[in-house]
């Protein structure tokens, strides 16, 4: 049998409300009685029934998080950042993964909503194009933060990495190292991050006075094989570039493996830069130059934002998009 505030009250011959207030450090209760109450609560082994309190107050002190895949370095870094801040502020975090499936994303959102999370942080799945499941939150002013893969269709605070800037830097770096014919392995242009990266790539070419050659731009699903296929195509057409900027490290890896296989010298003949700083990119031979996104910081920021919204209760309609700086990490795949 669990001890309740009533048991403590009875023990001390006072009322349950006094006990409740004392345990919540309500300043209206006198120092002495509060101490007395806390002491006996401790002695009796009292454990507050969080469920009852949540039910009563309609606050769960829980933040929901939905990511496409936990098992990816960037996302798990973000989660760590969220956890860090949430934990310090007394919030519990519930993490789920959508596996990039809209239905699962929607189902999870509904479950989190039903479980009355105080706020939601999410990165959209690859296929997500309808946002009904998020209306659940926005309609009822439940704080919602989008990060990384975001959408214009939803009014919410958004946290993104500087994809454009990162891509721009990466491309500029390749140009400065002498590249003139640069290919780009990009993702679906319906997804903000890949769109921005491609735009950054093109902007850097333009600013350097290079013209963009559409036959050097590939848009696929960003698997290792997508990178390989793109290069195979280029080679078949006798259009091998002198550099490739990939919108993720996975395609860059594919390309490196393929080019090594066919005996092309990296980075001398073809220089390569990836994106995301996946753990493997440092240890491949040659190590992959890449763009580092501040995952942990993004998570921290997201958690701070959602918590401040939860606490202020101000239905903040002034939604902003926070862009966090990315960083070019130069490694052997592009070092001349």
Partner DNA sequence: TTGTAAGCGTTATCAT
Partner DNA sequence: ATGATAACGCTTACAA
Neighbours of 187 (CB within 10 A): 23
Ramachandran category for residue 10: left, alpha or beta (phi over 0 → left; psi -120 to 50 → alpha): alpha
Instruction: Tell me the site size for a copy of itself, rule CB under 8 A.
Output: 39
Strand, helix or coil for residue 143: coil
| In the complex, minimum distance from the CB of residue 34 to DNA, in angstroms, rounded to a whole number | 7
Among 30, 130, 189, 311, binds DNA (CB under 7 A): 30
Residue span 243-272 as binding mask against DNA, x where in contact by CB under 7 A, dash where not: ------------------------------
Provide the 8-state DSSP code for 287.
P
Beta-carbon contacts of 32 under 8 Å, excluding residues fewer than 6 positions away, are none
Judged by CB under 7 A, does residue 280 bind DNA?
A: no
Judged by CB under 8 A, does residue 135 bind a copy of itself?
A: no
Judged by CB under 7 A, does residue 49 bind DNA?
A: yes
Neighbours of 221 (CB within 10 A): 10
Pairing verdict, β 327-329 and 290-292:
antiparallel
CA–CA separation, 223 and 299 (whole Å) = 25
280 binds, among a copy of itself, DNA, none (CB under 5 to 8 A by kind): a copy of itself
| In the complex, minimum distance from the CB of residue 109 to a copy of itself, in angstroms, rounded to a whole number | 12
Among 44, 55, 103, 282, binds DNA (CB under 7 A): 55
Judged by CB under 8 A, does residue 123 bind a copy of itself?
A: no
Residue span 151-190 as binding mask against a copy of itself, x where in contact by CB under 8 A, dash where not: ----------------------------------------
Structure-token pair, residue 208: 């350097």
Which residues share a beta bridge with 67? 97
Judged by CB under 8 A, does residue 272 bind a copy of itself?
A: no
Among 40, 53, 213, 292, binds DNA (CB under 7 A): 53
Strand, helix or coil for residue 37: helix
For residue 147, give the nearest of 63, 249, 88 by alpha carbon.
63
Judged by CB under 8 A, does residue 109 bind a copy of itself?
A: no
Residue span 127-166 as binding mask against DNA, x where in contact by CB under 7 A, dash where not: ----------------------------------------
297 binds, among a copy of itself, DNA, none (CB under 5 to 8 A by kind): none
CA–CA separation, 4 and 8 (whole Å) = 7
* φ, ψ at 327 (rounded to 5°): -140, 130
Give the strand order in the sheet containing 182-186.
217-219, 182-186, 243-246, 271-273
Judged by CB under 7 A, does residue 17 bind DNA?
A: yes
Judged by CB under 8 A, does residue 96 bind a copy of itself?
A: yes
Among 285, 311, 312, 321, binds a copy of itself (CB under 8 A): 285
Which residues share a beta bridge with 158? 146, 321
Quickly tell me which residue has 């490290």 as its tokens.
249
Residue among 2 and 139 whose Cβ is closer to DNA: 2
* φ, ψ at 87 (rounded to 5°): -55, -45
Provide the 8-state DSSP code for 128.
-
Among 48-56, 124-132, 181-189, 235-243, which window interacts with a copy of itself (CB under 8 A)?
A: 48-56
114 binds, among DNA, a copy of itself, none (CB under 5 to 8 A by kind): a copy of itself
> Can you give the binding site for a copy of itself, defined by CB under 8 A?
47-52, 54-55, 58, 60, 70-71, 73, 76-77, 79-80, 83, 87, 92-97, 104, 111, 113-116, 253, 257, 278-280, 283-285
């Amino acid at each position: 049998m669990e001890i309740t505030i009533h048991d403590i009250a009875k023990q001390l011959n006072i009322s349950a409300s006094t006990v409740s207030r004392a345990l919540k450090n309500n300043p209206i209760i006198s120092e002495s009685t509060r101490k007395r109450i806390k002491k006996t609560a401790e002695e009796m082994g009292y454990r507050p029934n969080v469920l009852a309190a949540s039910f009563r107050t309609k606050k769960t002190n829980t933040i929901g998080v939905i990511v496409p895949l936990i098992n990816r370095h960037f996302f798990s870094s973000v989660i760590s950042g969220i956890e860090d801040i949430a934990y310090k502020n007394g919030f519990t975090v519930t993490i789920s993964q959508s596996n990039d499936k809209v239905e699962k994303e929607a189902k999870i959102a509904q479950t989190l909503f039903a479980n009355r999370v105080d706020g939601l942080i999410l990165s959209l799945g690859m296929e997500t194009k309808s946002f009904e499941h998020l209306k659940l939150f926005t309609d009822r002013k439940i704080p919602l933060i989008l990060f990384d893969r975001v959408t214009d269709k939803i009014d919410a605070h958004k946290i993104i990495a500087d994809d454009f800037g990162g891509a721009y830097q990466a491309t500029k770096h390749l140009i400065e190292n002498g590249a003139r014919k640069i290919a780009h392995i990009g993702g679906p242009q319906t997804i903000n991050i890949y769109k921005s990266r491609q735009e950054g790539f093109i902007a850097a070419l333009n600013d350097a006075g290079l013209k963009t050659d559409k036959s050097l731009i590939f848009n696929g699903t960003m698997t290792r094989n997508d990178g390989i296929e793109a290069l195979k195509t280029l080679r078949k057409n006798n259009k091998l570039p002198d550099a490739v900027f990939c919108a993720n490290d996975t395609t860059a890896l594919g390309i490196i493996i393929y080019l090594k296989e066919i005996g092309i010298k990296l980075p001398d003949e073809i220089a390569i830069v990836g994106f995301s700083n996946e753990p493997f990119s440092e240890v491949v031979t040659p190590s992959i130059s890449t763009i580092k996104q501040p995952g942990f910081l993004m998570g921290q920021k997201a958690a701070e934002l959602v918590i401040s919204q939860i606490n202020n209760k101000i239905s903040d309609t002034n939604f902003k998009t926070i862009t966090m700086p990315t960083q070019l990490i130069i490694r052997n795949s592009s070092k001349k």
